[in-house]
Amino acid sequence: MLQFSSSRRYQICNRCLMDTSDPEIAFDEHGNCNHCNRYFVRVDEEVRRGPEAELALEALVERIVKEGKGKDYDCIAGVSGGVDSTFVIYKLKQLGLRPLAVHFDNGWNSELAVANIKNALDRLQIDLHTDVVDWEEFRDLQLSFLKASVPNCEIPTDHAITATLVKTARRNRVRYVVNGSNVVTEGILPISWVYYSHDLHHIRAIHRQFGRVPLKTFPQVSLASFSARILSGSYKMVNLLNYVEYDKAKAVQTMKRELNWQYYGGKHYESIYTRWYQGYYLPTKFGFDKRRAHLSALVCAGQLSREQGIVELVKNPYADNDLDQDMDFVVKKFGLDRGQLQHLIDKPNKKHTDYSNRNNFIEGLSGLRSYLRNRAKSV
């Protein structure tokens, strides 16, 4: 059911792997797409290299250490058990920082994810704070997104992770929150596929229409409060991997060797829901494959050839996992049967902006942040 892209002639970028499965993709006169063009601008603006990176990182670490004096921890680091966040805590320890690791447990962790988090934190001697979601509430919210028939059904999890980080940072009087987001391996992701997870108004609108269980304990942070914290500097997101040489394959080798970390067979596959959602739900219902964006970023980073990327994309996303087993797990956990789940998949596809949202505000804010960042660089 390729409703978003059916009216457009197929085209794939000459440089990366992005194609018209993003309905909003645009190509320039060389056949390069807006995503890889933007990727290289972002690398220039946000990624630090060589001596400049070392100096900036040194200054950052100094500030974090200084502000952390007398406190139990000097920074907060979200951990999912995945490659990026695990590599971040490994680096933080190398830099001599004292992070508190924070994990949001949404009930979908694979056993391997739990083991990977435990192994890494034990070896690095880092404390862990885990927030476990109320499953009845969370189930209702996740189902609301499936019923709304919008592409990003991971917004409830992503929002709760941010809210949990904000809350934990405030409680520990720490303002540096270090994460694994980075331009080099993640700098391509069409907004039409993901929308914005910090739009609490949007989350509530969808839940109001499709949910039944009141959200009493679900971690939430309003857009106004979050924006105010970011703009005032009382909450500082540090994208650490933009400061270090980040080669994904090398990072995986280091973590296997040093932290006894094991690979999941796909990006974000540490969660069974994410594995099912990215590997089956999105390609089947919406006709796009998030691997296309992830692999495109690696192609632009020079960490993968375009030809290798095409070979990867031809492979079934479920090649290394058992789809039937995951389908049974998802259905059972939601308390549905296969027919009910199929009914949700068959509903007509919607865009996030078909529901009440704060899209304009968020895009204005992101423009403001980029303006402030560039102005700070030029003075």
Q: Note the residues at the interface with Zn ion (CB under 5 A).
A: 13, 15-16, 18, 33, 36
Shorter beta-carbon distance to Zn ion: residue 36 or 174: 36
Shorter beta-carbon distance to Zn ion: residue 64 or 295: 295
Nearest distance from C-beta of residue 186 to Zn ion, angstroms: 15
Shorter beta-carbon distance to Zn ion: residue 60 or 300: 300
Determine the Cα–Cα distance for residues 177 and 237; give it in Å rounded to an integer. 5
Shorter beta-carbon distance to Zn ion: residue 230 or 313: 313
User: Quick one: which of 39, 31, 9 has its CA closest to 190?
Assistant: 39
23-30: which pairs have CB atoms within 8 A and are 24 or more residues apart?
A: 23/192, 24/190, 24/191, 24/192, 25/190
List all residues 6 or more positions away from 116 whose beta carbon is below 8 Å from its beta carbon.
Answer: 81, 86, 259, 261, 262, 270
Shorter beta-carbon distance to Zn ion: residue 200 or 299: 299
The number of angstroms, rounded, from the C-alpha of 327 to the middle of its chain's C-alpha atoms is 23
Reading the block at residue 196, the tokens are: 């914005």
Cα distance from N-terminal residue to C-terminal residue, the chain:
51
Nearest distance from C-beta of residue 291 to Zn ion, angstroms: 15
The CA-based dihedral angle spanning residues 39, 43, 47, 48, taken in that order and rounded to the nearest 10 degrees: 170
Angle, in degrees to the nearest 10, between helices 83-94 and 111-124: 10
Nearest distance from C-beta of residue 20 to Zn ion, angstroms: 12
User: Is the Cβ–Cβ distance between 266 and 275 less than 8 Å?
Assistant: yes
The number of angstroms, rounded, from the C-alpha of 160 to the middle of its chain's C-alpha atoms is 12
Nearest distance from C-beta of residue 28 to Zn ion, angstroms: 9
Nearest distance from C-beta of residue 11 to Zn ion, angstroms: 11
Nearest distance from C-beta of residue 364 to Zn ion, angstroms: 26
Interstrand relation of 176-179 and 236-239 (parallel, antiparallel or unpaired): parallel
Determine the Cα–Cα distance for residues 235 and 21; give it in Å rounded to an integer. 36
Shorter beta-carbon distance to Zn ion: residue 33 or 241: 33
The number of angstroms, rounded, from the C-alpha of 305 to the middle of its chain's C-alpha atoms is 24
Q: Dihedrals φ, ψ of 177, to 5°? A: -120, 115
215, amino acid identity: L
Shorter beta-carbon distance to Zn ion: residue 25 or 155: 25
Nearest distance from C-beta of residue 230 to Zn ion, angstroms: 29
Strand order in the sheet with 127-132: 127-132, 99-105, 75-78, 176-179, 236-239
Shorter beta-carbon distance to Zn ion: residue 9 or 377: 9
Shorter beta-carbon distance to Zn ion: residue 40 or 361: 40
Determine the Cα–Cα distance for residues 267 and 270; give it in Å rounded to an integer. 8
Nearest distance from C-beta of residue 242 to Zn ion, angstroms: 21
Interstrand relation of 99-105 and 127-132 (parallel, antiparallel or unpaired): parallel
Shorter beta-carbon distance to Zn ion: residue 32 or 254: 32
Nearest distance from C-beta of residue 16 to Zn ion, angstroms: 3
Give the gyration radius of the chain's Cα atoms. Answer: 20
Nearest distance from C-beta of residue 88 to Zn ion, angstroms: 27
The number of angstroms, rounded, from the C-alpha of 251 to the middle of its chain's C-alpha atoms is 18
